[in-house]
Amino acid sequence: MNKWVLLFILDGFGIGEAEDANSFGDTGANTCGHLLSCQPAIPCPTLEAIGLFDPNRRAVLKPENPNKDTLSGVYELLGVILPKWTTFPEGLPDSLLHRFESLIHNEVINAGKGSGTEIINRFGSEHFQTGNPIVYTSADSVFQIAAHEEKIPLSTLYYWAWLARSLVNDQPALGRVIARPFLGNGMIGFSRTPHRKDFPYKTATVPLFEELSKQSVPLSGNRIIQDLFPQTKIDPVPGQHIADTMKQLLVLLRERRYQNEPSRLCVVDLEDFDMLYGHRRDPKGYISALIEFDGYLNQCLSLLSTQDLCILTADHGNDPTFALHTDHTRENVPLVSVPSQSSYQGIRPMRIVSSIIRNYFSLL
């Protein structure tokens, strides 16, 4: 057996409101449908050929987890339902921040709730003058710590985030603590660097990963997958954005031909769709990213053998035309594959993806 499975998670690519969208304030959300309304003929021949845009050719996966974040969505695709996270609509409570200050022996700048790019520009100069980290949250279940790389070493920022994780794993239970380093100054503005690091909710290992390990099937993943599963051995797929990540994946696929690589699962979460375009309500940028990905996907498919499987799905929605908020949107997600898994058509739970992978590797 020499099978590779490529699992591409198009972060934030929903295909229409889930049945419980109203309870999330997301009635009417439809990431794919509204992108097609903006540009009916998106030039993505590979994605079109495998049926991603066609309701009659893709399966519909419905979420069962009680959240709408990447951590919960990716875990559910892999067969694990995580608990309901705590969110803070009014910002992180003072009591939690005081506990955090006691742990790091440093005061913090309470930036409340909002967009990280706006927050670092609003509070960046104060942080640089005082050395106090900027702490904030968003509509997601997150505890975010921002610090200037020339003021606070990355090792210190990561250590602070690790300490914060110990505060929010139970009562309250938050999905992620995120270290958000940035650079710049008050004259030219501040911008995030590629050195973000996520500290996810601590949970048991993923049964699918354990089964693959017992069968000596290695796992590869890009940065966000490595961050979401710190307890799992994951060979890195370097890269921060679509182009560099996909280029590195192509390198792995080409090397495989010459090294007689054994079976492997490779999971790639393409967060540009979500982070750069969904949250920023930029449908034009979202469409451009799909076009960019389409070209790299075509090259990947050309390097697969007849025994391999390529799956495309998503973790949640993030409709770039949705006007009520800039958060994720509660949507069903698509499932398409090469070769097509026609037996899984129709409406299915998201965790069916783990069953497809398990069956493909014959982990029964």
pLDDT tens, position by position, 226-272: 999 988 999 999 998 999 999 999 999 998 877 777 899 999 999 99
* pLDDT of 363 over the 70 cut: no
* Mean pLDDT calculated for residue range 91-118: 96
Domain residue ranges of the chain, discontinuous segments joined by +: 4-82+203-360, 94-200
Locus of tokens 């054994």: 262
First to last CA, the chain: 15
pLDDT at 256: 87
CATH superfamily, with its number, for domain 4-82+203-360: Alkaline Phosphatase, subunit A (3.40.720.10)
Q: CATH for 94-200?
A: 3.30.70.1250
Which residues neighbour 302 within 8 Å (Cβ) at sequence distance 6 or greater?
A: none
**CB–CB of 179/50 below 8 Å?**
no
What is the arithmetic mean of pLDDT over 304-308?
93
CA distance 211 to 357: 11
The pTM score is 0.88
How many Cβ atoms from other residues are within 10 Å of residue 251's Cβ?
A: 12
Q: Do 4-82+203-360 and 94-200 agree at the fold level?
A: no
Q: How many CA atoms lie within 13 A of 293 on its CB side?
A: 24
Q: DSSP of 109-163, one letter per residue? A: EEEEES-HHHHHHHHHHHHHHH-PPEEEE-SSSEEEEEEETTTS-HHHHHHHHHH
pLDDT tens digits along 279-299: 999 999 999 999 999 999 999
Locate the DSSP E strands across 246-359.
Answer: 264-270, 309-313, 333-338, 347-349
Q: Which of these, 158, 151, 229, lies nearest to 196 by C-alpha position?
A: 158
Instruction: Give the Cα separation of 126 and 116 in Å (integer).
Output: 15
Distance (Å, whole) CA 315 – CA 12: 6
Confidence of residue 208 (pLDDT cuts 50, 70, 90): very high
Looking at the predicted structure, is the pLDDT value of residue 1 above 60? no
What's the mean pLDDT when you consider all of the chain?
94
Who has greater pLDDT, 159 or 116? Answer: 159
In contact, 135 and 92? CB cutoff 8 Å: yes
pLDDT recorded at residue 364: 46
